[in-house]
Structures are given as C-alpha cells and as structure tokens.
A and B are shown apart, each in its own frame.
Chain A
Amino acid sequence: MTRSPLAPSRATRWTIGILVGAVFAVPFAATLLFTLTAADGSLTLDRWTALFDPARAAAYVPVWAGLVNSLVLAVVTVAIVLVVLAPTMVLVALRYPALRRVFEFFALLPITIPAIVLVVGLAPIYLAIGRTFGTGTWSLAFAYGIVVLPFAYRSIQASIDAVDLRTLAEAARTLGASWPAVLIRVIAPNLRQGLLAASLMTVAVVLGEFTIASLLNRQVLQTGLVLVNKQDAWASAIFTLLALAFAFVLLLIIGRAGRVGAGRKTS
C-alpha cells in the first residue's frame, strides 16, 4: 500500500502517540504501583496474594458473588439478544424492509435515554416484577437487554447488510427447508460474525454495568467492587485492573472477528 498523502509525518505521529499514550498510561501504571506498594512504601505482592487467602475470603465475598450474578445476567442478556432481537431483525430484513428506519430509530433510542433516567421509570416496574417473579438478580437482564440494544443492533445489522439474506432464504426454502431450519442452519451461520460481536459486546457491557443494578439494589460485579472498595481500596484496584484487562482481550477478539469478516468480503 502506498502512503496516503493525508497521513501525518512520522514525527507528528510519534509525538502525538507518545504524549497522549503517556498521559493515558500514567493512571493505569499508578494503579498497578498502588496495588504493589505496602504501607511502609516498599514494593510487595502481598495485596495480590491476599485475594486468594482463605482467611480473608469473607472480605471479598461481595465481588465473587457479584461476579457470579453478573455472569448469569450476561448469559440471560445474550439469550435475549440472540433469541428475541436477532430473529426480529432477520424478519424485518426479509419481510418488512420498509420498517427498517423505524426499527433502527427504536434500537438506537437507548443511547438518547440516560440509564439514570431509565432507572426512575424501571423502579416501579421492578417492584411489580419482584412481586410476581421474586427479586432474583436474573430479572435485571430485561433492563440490560435495552442497555445493550444499540451495540447489539449495530453489530448484527452490519452482518445482515453484508450478506444477501433474501436469496439465501429463498434458496433454502426452494430446497425444502422449514423456516426454523432456514433461520438456524442457513441464516445464523452467515451472520455469525455479527452475532459473535453482539454477544461479546453484551458480555462486556453487562459486566461493566453499575447504574441500574445499584439503584435497584441488586448485587452485581460493579456494586460488589464499590462495597469492597469502602474497606479495601487495594483489592478493588486489583479487581479493576483484572476486569479492564479481561474487557480489553474481549474487544480485541471482537475486532479480530470483524476483520476476518471484512477480509473475506473483499477477497
């Protein structure tokens, strides 16, 4: 590839990269150093090993319990995305292309409505849900499905736009496949990049969600972190570094999945 005439000079690129990179590296390097510093100022790994010390396990229960709840929520929310959102998007693409604009408007609407506003209206609804289904954490997944809607919609729609769904569906139907078979064995495999990206994005957003869980008094990973932070700022700093690293790897995978798709399309 020839160098684009728009690209900055090597010196400009490096100057911006090093300056901004350094400013952003400082807080995270400082956090790492924070977790490695003992009370007297010497370096130690004690804070990290303490996380797995059975004697101190009770102090970290909120984080582990919250993590389990968040993982359950992630699974249920991914199920909502794959079982409710994705088939509806396929249906709109195949049968109701005229509805696409309206559908897109509603799918992107949650960006415009702050989670803190949603919570005000969700509080009475969850009061009713609590009375009928109990106050289990899993029911929070209904609210999370709305929070992840714009991200999931964008990923899946990009995949739908990249393949000719109508032709695929018609071909499978002509060959005698039933509609469920078309959806699961023909369309879903062709949308797998979008579905994978939407699922991973959903996992990342659900694990990072705090606003709704905290104000509806549910225990998830983030509320657990806040609780632990009040007694042990070092432990919450360590969990933070681990969670951020995990999310970084998750998004690297999403990026790779997206690029594999892009490469396939142009080759």
Chain B
Amino acid sequence: MTAVAPAGSPVTGSPLPRSRRIGWSWLGLVPFLAYLALFLLLPTVLAVVTGFQDGTGAFTWDNLTALVDPVITETFWNSTWVSLLTAAIGAIVGSLVCFALLGLPETGVIRAAVDAASGVLAQFGGVMLAFVMVATLGTQGVITRLIAGALGIDIFADGAWIYGLPGLIPAYIIFQVPLMVLTFMPALAALRPQWAEAHMTLGGTRAGFWAHVGFPVLAPSFLASFLLLFTNAFSSYATAAALASQGSSIVPLQIRTALTSETVLGRENLAGSLALGMILVVAAAMVVYNLVQRRASRWQA
C-alpha cells in the first residue's frame, strides 16, 4: 500500500523545534516499564531460574538433566510433530483460502465475515474448540454416531483416540487454518497486479507467472507464517487441557502435571526446566522467523 499523506500535513516528518532540556517527561515511561518488568520479565526469569533450583532453593543441574529423560524427550517429540503436522496442513489450506479471497473487495461482506471468523477461531477458541470437537467426534459426537449409524463403522474401535494425542490434530487444524488466513493474507494482497500484467504482456502465462514470480516472492512469507503456526501450536495449552483431562502427552500438559503435583520423575521444580525447554524451541523458531520475515518484507514496501 502506498502511503497517502493526510491532506494538509507535510509529507515528511515535520522538523519540530525539539526542546533541548531533558525535563521530566521520561517519568511518564516509568509506570509502563515497571509493569513490564514485574509481569513480563520477572515471571520469565523466575520460570527459567526455578528450573535450576531444588526443593530448598539451592542451585542444581538436576532438573535440567530431566530434559533428556526418555519420558520428557517423548513429550517434546510429540509436541514437535503435532505442531509441525498441523502447521503444515494449516499453512497449505490457509494459503489456498487466501488465494480464493484474492481480488475480492476488502470492504465486502465475504472478506469481513472471513476475517472475523478467522479472528474468533485463531485467537478466541481455546477450550471451546475442544468442546466443539467432543460434540462432533467425541464418543457421543454427532459425526461419530452418524458414521456408526450409516456405515456401521466404529471410529473408536481401537480406543477413543479423540481424547488422546491424535485427537489434538483435528482440534488444532480448526485454529491453525484461520491463523494462516490472518497472517498470510497481507503478503498475498501485497503481490502487485502490475507484475502479472507485465508478465502477461511479455507473453507469459498465468501458470508461468505463479511458477517464476508469485511463488518465489511469496516463499519467505509462507515460511514465516508456517513458523508462526508452529510456535502457536507448540505453545497452545487450553485446547489440549480441555480435551485430555488426564495424561501429559505434550509439553504444556507435562508442565501442568509438574505444577499441580509435588514431584515428577523424582524431581521438584521440573516445570521450570520444561519452561526453559519450551522457550528454547520457540525462540529458535522465532529467530528463523525474523530472518525470513526480513527477506519477505523486501517485497511489501
């Protein structure tokens, strides 16, 4: 989008006479900074530090060694593959939806409804998506009974997987696809129609445009959105907690177990080292995200 300067204002930042004195205005920053320090930075530091403490508060490496315990590595692996799989499905289906929306007026009914619905499912769902899943595919769910009645197939013949790890996949897809629509749409909308026109004028085809211009330009944005979807699924807790009231198949549920019971695997303060492990995974994904995003923004000026 080209920047349109509001009528009557200078296009460039107005060179205002900046007061030289320091003054007291910096005091205005204090409340917010104190708030950030107390409720964002302190909890994060505390979460990580408790991972290095034993029950009495003394320093220990013991909790950290839990991260290589087979039980814990398995939950990390479960979290990782479920997140990767749902992020991949979400990214592909979501970008198809974005493509279908391309060219529709942003003020139209369809765009407004899709944007609002995506926002609800991507950011608001949580626990409620688990209830929707149970009502649909639970042991007494509408679709479960429909399949059993019409086809005579019991989809839970091998156990009620919907309440376990596999059940997270359909539940997560319900919020991953909308998140992809929200994050990828701006990148797709920034593709210039002029590029397609130029390509066509020079004798290219529509398929050729996508193969040689569209996909390469969009690839960094697609990858960035995929990483965002991955971290979103990896850190998601509410849906899994409501779907699986017991068990700790993924890392956030393992943290719940560690927080609500005194000792896990014979260790206290395991929640802290699990939190550290999660921060490391998410931080790694976000570092790559920032690198990719920088490359993506080149085409979105």
Contacts and interface: CB of A to CB of B under 8 A. Distances in A.
B127 interface: yes
B174 A24 contact: yes
B164 interface: no
B39 A255 contact: no
Nearest to B258: A120
A118 B120 contact: no
Contact of A117 (B29, B44, B136): B44
A236 B106 CA distance: 35
Contact of A4 (B25, B102, B252): B102
A120 B270 CA distance: 10
Interface string A207-233: 111110011000000100110010001
A63 B279 CA distance: 33
Contacts of A149: 40
A222 B196 CA distance: 48
What is the size category of the interface that chain B forms with chain A?
Answer: 35 or more
Interface in B18-75: 25-26, 28-29, 31-32, 35-36, 38-40, 42-48, 50
Given A6-B196, A208-B124, A222-B127, A118 B43 contact: yes
Contact of B107 (A12, A35, A117, A259): A259
Contact of B177 (A20, A122, A263): A20
B126 to A, nearest CB: 5
Interface in B88-143: 93, 96-97, 99-100, 102-107, 112-113, 115-117, 119-120, 123-128, 131-136, 138, 140-143
Contacts of B138: 233
A7 interface: yes
B278 interface: yes
Given A85-B32, A125-B42, A112 B97 contact: no
B14 to A, nearest CB: 6
Given A3-B103, A6-B103, A20-B177, A120 B36 contact: no
Interface string A33-49: 11101000000000000
Given A124-B46, A229-B131, A215 B28 contact: no
B256 interface: yes
A109 B46 contact: no
Nearest to B287: A112
Contact of A225 (B131, B200, B237): B131
A138 to B, nearest CB: 14
Nearest to A124: B46
A240 B132 contact: yes
A109 B36 CA distance: 10
A88 B47 contact: no
Nearest to B49: A121
A8 interface: yes
B97 A251 contact: no
Contacts of A4: 102-103, 193, 196
Contact of B100 (A17, A91, A244, A266): A17
A122 B43 contact: yes
Nearest to A263: B107
B272 interface: yes
B123 A208 contact: yes
B9 interface: yes
B135 A210 contact: no
Nearest to A209: B126
Contact of A237 (B28, B40, B112, B131): B131
13 contacts: A5-B193, A12-B100, A26-B143, A34-B135, A91-B28, A120-B259, A123-B259, A143-B39, A146-B40, A162-B6, A208-B123, A208-B128, A233-B135
